[in-house]
Amino acid sequence: MNKFFFSLMAIFFLSQNFVTAQKPEYKISAIGFYNLENLFDTIDAPDIWDEEFTPNGSKVWNTSKYKEKLKNMAEVISRVATEKSKDGLAILGVSEIENRTVLEDLVKQPAIAKRRYNIIHFDSDDFRGIDLGLLYQPKYFTPKSAKSIPVYLYSGKERVFTRDILYVSGLMYGEMIHILVNHWPSRRGGESKTSPWRQQAASECKKVIDSLTAIDPMAKVIVMGDLNDNPNNPSVKKVLKTKRKIKKVKSGSDNMYNPMENFFRKGNGTTAYRDAWSLFDQIILSYGWLPKHQKGLRFFKAKIFNKSFLVQKKGHFKGYPKRTFAGGEFIHGYSDHFPVYIYVVKQK
C-alpha cells in the first residue's frame, strides 16, 4: 500500500509541475504619450513665435521657471506605468516642445536620467514653432527609420502651418512596430470650422496605416497624440475608422481599435476647458496588436495617468489638470493634459 500511495503522490506532483511549466510568462512594457504644455527654453528664437516664453516676455519665462518645468515633467514621466513595469515608459511620444534642446535637458533630469532615454525629433513648420518628439529606452526599442510627414492645410489659397506627424519604425522585443506621433490642429476658430483640418491630419496617418497593412495585415501600428478631437469625432471615427470593442476589429479590415473611447464614454478626460472634459490624448492600434492567441507582442491594457498630485486642488480651475500657468500666474504645475499609456506584452 505504501508503494501504491507514494506512486500516486509522485504522479500528482509531476502533474502539478507540468501544469506550472505550461503556464505562460510574459514580458511587459509601456508605451505612452504626453503633451508637455509649452516646454520652451528661455532663448528668443528669431524665426518662431516664442517671445512670451522669454525673460522679457509676458510669461517672464526665466531659467528658474524653465528648470522647475523640466523637473516637474520628469517627475511625471518617472511615475507613469511603474505599477507594472519597473523601468516605466519604454517609449514616450511628446508634443508642445520647442526644439531638440529642451528634450536633451529633459532626459538629463535626475528623476529619469538612469533610463537613458534617446531622442528622435524633427523641426516642424508649425507657426508657433512647437514640435513633436519620441523618447525611447534603447534596452526596449531600436529605431530603424524615422521621418517627418507634413500636413498641408489651407485657408483659401493661403497655407496654414501646423505640426508635422512624426513617423518612427523600429524593433521592440525583436518585432517591427510603427508609431505615428501627432498633434493635430487646434480648435481655435471653432470646432466645426477647423474639423476638416484635423480630418486631413488623420488622413495622412491613414495613408501610412493602409500602406503598411497592405503589405502585412498583421502590421503593428500605433497612432498616438493630442488629436484635439474626442474619440467620437469624425477625424477618429470616420477617417481612422476606429472601434471601441476589440472584437469589432477584424483581420483584413481597415478598422482600428481605440481603447480610449471607453474612458470617454464613462466621462473620463485628459484635458478640461470651461468645465467640460475632453479626451484629446489618445493611443489607437491596428489589428496586429489585438489577437490574444498570438505569442508575439500584443496590446494588454490602456490607462490615463491622472494621479492626485497632477490635479488642481483649489481656485477657478479646481479639478482640472494642474498646469504651468493659470490666468497668467505661474502656479508651479505640470501640464494642462494628463498622460496616456498602454501596456504591451509578449510571451517569453
- pLDDT in single tens digits along all 348 residues of the chain: 455 554 555 555 444 554 445 677 889 999 999 999 999 999 998 888 889 999 999 999 999 999 999 999 999 999 999 999 999 999 999 999 999 999 999 999 999 999 999 999 999 988 888 999 999 999 999 999 999 999 999 988 999 999 999 999 999 999 999 999 999 999 999 999 999 999 999 999 999 999 999 999 999 999 999 999 999 999 999 999 999 999 999 988 899 999 999 999 999 999 999 889 999 999 999 999 999 888 899 999 999 999 999 999 988 889 999 999 988 899 999 999 999 999 999 998
Phi-psi region of 127 (alpha: psi -120 to 50; beta: other; left: phi over 0): alpha
pLDDT of residue 295: 84
Cell reading at 213 = 497593412
pLDDT of residue 68: 98
- The residue extents of the domains of the chain are 25-347
Contact by Cβ (8 Å): 335, 323: yes
CATH fold group of domain 25-347: Deoxyribonuclease I; Chain A (3.60.10)
Contacts with 218 (C-beta within 8 Å, 6 or more apart), sequence order: 251, 287, 288
pLDDT of residue 204: 98
pLDDT of residue 113: 98
Look up cell 472634459; give the residue.
277
Q: What is the C-alpha separation between 67 and 58, in angstroms, rounded?
A: 18
Cell reading at 51 = 517671445
Question: Which sign does the torsion angle of CA 309, 315, 317, 318 carry?
Answer: positive
* Residue from 202, 198, 207 nearest 240 by CA: 202
pLDDT of residue 49: 83
pLDDT of residue 21: 53
